[in-house]
Amino acid sequence: MLFQGKTAEECRRWQKEFKTKLTELLGDSTPPRNGKVTVEEVVKLNDHVRHQILLEAKGIPSVPVYLLIPRNLAKGKKAPRSPVRPWPWRVR
């Protein structure tokens, strides 16, 4: 679905059509109500702590994530948000 319009209105129309098609292709993305969170590994590095976490819920594939927490974060301060990246699956 390549955008070939020239006006803002054409762009808005294309975005709506694209969102509809993407939702159709991806399927339901509603988060599960109940799930299991497993912390698989915690690694303390110079400037942050990296948590390897596995999110699991019945009927959907597991989702591996990294949670990065800055080490020099002052109490009460919020850290900048970063994208969560999956890591390679490990054979168990």
Tell me the pLDDT tens digit for each residue of 11-49.
Answer: 999 999 999 999 999 887 777 888 889 999 999 999 999
Euclidean distance between CA atoms 50 and 65, whole angstroms:
10
What pLDDT sits at residue 82? 60
Let me know: does 14 contact 7? Beta carbons within 8 Å: no
Is the predicted pLDDT of residue 76 greater than 90, yes or no?
no
Question: 44 with 51: CB under 8 angstroms?
Answer: no
Residue 90 clears pLDDT 50, i.e. is over it = no
Give the whole-angstrom CA distance, residue 76 versus residue 44: 21
* pLDDT in the model for residue 71: 87
Structural contact between residues 84 and 63, judged by C-beta atoms closer than 8 angstroms: no
